[in-house]
Amino acid sequence: MKITRLKTAVVEGNFDWTFVRLETDEGLRGLGECFFAPGLTAILKSLEPLVIGEDPRDIHRLFRKLRLGTSGAGSIAGIIYNAISGIEAALWDLLGQSLGVPIYRLLGGRFRDKIRIYADCHGGEALECLDEVLRSRPARWVLKGPAAHVAKDYFGEVSDEPRSSPDDYRRRALAMKAQGFTALKFDFDVPGTEGADPYNRVLSNRAIDYGIGLIAAAREAVGVDTDIAVDCHWRYNPCDVVKVARQLEPFRLLWLEDPVPPENVAALKEVNAKVGVAIATGENLFLFEGFQEIIAQHAVSVVTPDLQKVGGLAVAQSIAQFADVHSMPVAPHNISSPVGTLTAAHFCASIPNFLALEFHASAVPFWDDLVTGLPHPLIQRGFIRLPEQPGLGVTLNEEVARRYARKGEAFFE
Ligand code: MG
């Protein structure tokens, strides 16, 4: 079997869901999804010559070939791997289809047949749509009327927009619990908690009190049996975020995510050692090498690789194995469509130390309609049942995908 074409399509969900399709001379087509990035489809097209004519079943060798081919550009990490992650997933899909088995079988089989999903609840509001440089954009699918909410640019100046309230957090927590989710994640870094200066990583006492009040409301609403994680998006300095974490200790969080920049191992380690809350990081780290130090030094307590970014399924398995040796659970970050979510689900089934997989698109009305051939909705009572069909186990609904395709991008052409 030989790869004959690499094609891409971008669907405008709450993020740019970027698909890569590998076509073969035997008629099989493999599908993968990449985490969004500026210029991503151009990178994918640049990589096409490296896989044309290759046997897609040589996954590890092709990964190495892509790695070597991009190393001269200095890409020892970074958005090249958003592209490679999608290609690698498409290779596993092809291998599974060619052998007639689901991807999780190729990864060594399963520890569980349904995958626990946690619901990202943002800042208590429902809708958010960001472009590839985290600017807020109006999405075509955003509801009109009072329920509509367009987020501010993710990293921007302090604005006087209405702040989230404890009631927002309470309502959102109860709504997601009612859908059956047993784990939720809320943002701590919402307007009101960025301090007077959005760039200096400093938190005022008032900002801390405000943020703690939001999390307290969510915890009070759902009780102790629903897990709650809290995300800081690498905004703060260690000293101030330790103050936050200590006040969060009574709420018995599942984890506190990205309290400080993930590339700062010393700062992470400082926070993790000082507080009685599990510190999690990983969504911005690449390859095994990106996780090696933070795991070996116990700078975190939970690792959160993103399957559409980290380098692929095999890389993620090596990270999970190393984390398991260090007795750490893995909770993959995920903002993808059902395609990337299922890729992650196969991985989650195959590792012993799985904790929960993220779902970030509860506000996108067509999320479930993007794929066919699986239960609808895909997430039922907070779990995804692992598909048994060959490969990834899902078919992209191209009619729906085309309806929300990003203008100016190719659509599998
Ligand atoms: Mg996060």
Whether 179 and 60 map to the same domain: the answer is no
Per-residue pLDDT of 59-80, as tens digits, reads 999 999 999 999 988 889 999 9
Whether 98 and 163 map to the same domain: the answer is no
Give the mean model confidence (pLDDT) for residues 270-277.
98
Whether 218 and 83 map to the same domain: the answer is no
Give the pTM: 0.96
Structure confidence at residue 193 (pLDDT):
74
Share of the chain above pLDDT 90, in %: 85
Whether 227 and 266 map to the same domain: the answer is yes
The alpha carbon of 226 and the centre of ligand 1 are apart by a number of angstroms equal to 19
In a domain, residue 221? The reply is yes
The alpha carbon of 283 and the centre of ligand 1 are apart by a number of angstroms equal to 7
The alpha carbon of 408 and the centre of ligand 1 are apart by a number of angstroms equal to 29
Residues 243-270 as b or e (16 or more Cβ within 10 Å = b): ebbebbeebebbbbbbbbbbebbebbbb
Q: What is the CATH number of the domain that holds 139?
A: 3.20.20.120
The alpha carbon of 193 and the centre of ligand 1 are apart by a number of angstroms equal to 16
Per-residue pLDDT of 101-131, as tens digits, reads 999 999 999 999 999 999 999 887 755 788 8
Q: What angle do CA 116, 356, 143 make, to 5 degrees?
A: 75
Structure confidence at residue 127 (pLDDT):
53
pLDDT at residue 192 above 80? no
Share of the chain above pLDDT 70, in %: 94
In a domain, residue 411? The reply is no
The alpha carbon of 92 and the centre of ligand 1 are apart by a number of angstroms equal to 26
Ligand 1 (ion): residues with CB under 5 Å are 231, 257
The alpha carbon of 155 and the centre of ligand 1 are apart by a number of angstroms equal to 14
Structure confidence at residue 73 (pLDDT):
86
pLDDT at residue 250 above 50? yes
Reported as type and span, the H/E element at residue 16 is strand 16-24
The alpha carbon of 233 and the centre of ligand 1 are apart by a number of angstroms equal to 6
The alpha carbon of 334 and the centre of ligand 1 are apart by a number of angstroms equal to 9
Peptide bond into 352 cis (omega under 30): no
Whether 263 and 372 map to the same domain: the answer is yes
Whether 90 and 214 map to the same domain: the answer is no
Give the mean model confidence (pLDDT) for residues 218-224.
98
Whether 75 and 143 map to the same domain: the answer is no
The alpha carbon of 318 and the centre of ligand 1 are apart by a number of angstroms equal to 21
The alpha carbon of 95 and the centre of ligand 1 are apart by a number of angstroms equal to 31
Whether 235 and 282 map to the same domain: the answer is yes
Whether 128 and 276 map to the same domain: the answer is yes
Residues of the domain holding 314: 114-391
The alpha carbon of 333 and the centre of ligand 1 are apart by a number of angstroms equal to 7
Structure confidence at residue 15 (pLDDT):
94
In a domain, residue 140? The reply is yes
Per-residue pLDDT of 317-339, as tens digits, reads 999 999 999 999 999 999 999 99
In a domain, residue 413? The reply is no
Asked if 176 contacts 118 with a C-beta cutoff of 8 angstroms, the reply is no
In a domain, residue 107? The reply is no
In a domain, residue 258? The reply is yes
Burial (CB count within 10 angstroms: exposed 0-12, middle 13-18, buried 19+), residue 346: buried
Per-residue pLDDT of 138-185, as tens digits, reads 877 776 554 445 556 666 665 666 678 999 999 999 999 999 999 999
Whether 218 and 143 map to the same domain: the answer is yes
The alpha carbon of 118 and the centre of ligand 1 are apart by a number of angstroms equal to 12
In a domain, residue 354? The reply is yes
Give the mean model confidence (pLDDT) for residues 386-398.
97
C-alpha 305/C-alpha 316 separation (Å) is: 7
Structure confidence at residue 124 (pLDDT):
76
Q: What is the number of domains present in the chain?
A: 2
The alpha carbon of 372 and the centre of ligand 1 are apart by a number of angstroms equal to 29
Whether 206 and 62 map to the same domain: the answer is no
Per-residue pLDDT of 353-386, as tens digits, reads 999 999 999 989 999 999 999 999 999 999 999 9
Q: What is the CATH number of the domain that holds 46?
A: 3.30.390.10
The alpha carbon of 301 and the centre of ligand 1 are apart by a number of angstroms equal to 15
Give the mean model confidence (pLDDT) for residues 26-46.
98
The alpha carbon of 280 and the centre of ligand 1 are apart by a number of angstroms equal to 9
pLDDT at residue 210 above 50? yes
Q: Where are the alpha helices (DSSP H) in 52-200?
A: 59-71, 80-99, 103-106, 166-178
pLDDT at residue 253 above 50? yes
The alpha carbon of 403 and the centre of ligand 1 are apart by a number of angstroms equal to 29
Q: Report the mean per-residue pLDDT for the chain.
A: 93
In a domain, residue 412? The reply is no
The alpha carbon of 258 and the centre of ligand 1 are apart by a number of angstroms equal to 7
Residue 138's φ and ψ, nearest 5 degrees, are: -75, 125
Asked if 367 contacts 384 with a C-beta cutoff of 8 angstroms, the reply is no
Whether 78 and 134 map to the same domain: the answer is no
Least confident span in 26-40, 149-163, 226-240, 264-278? 149-163
Structure confidence at residue 75 (pLDDT):
87
The alpha carbon of 278 and the centre of ligand 1 are apart by a number of angstroms equal to 14
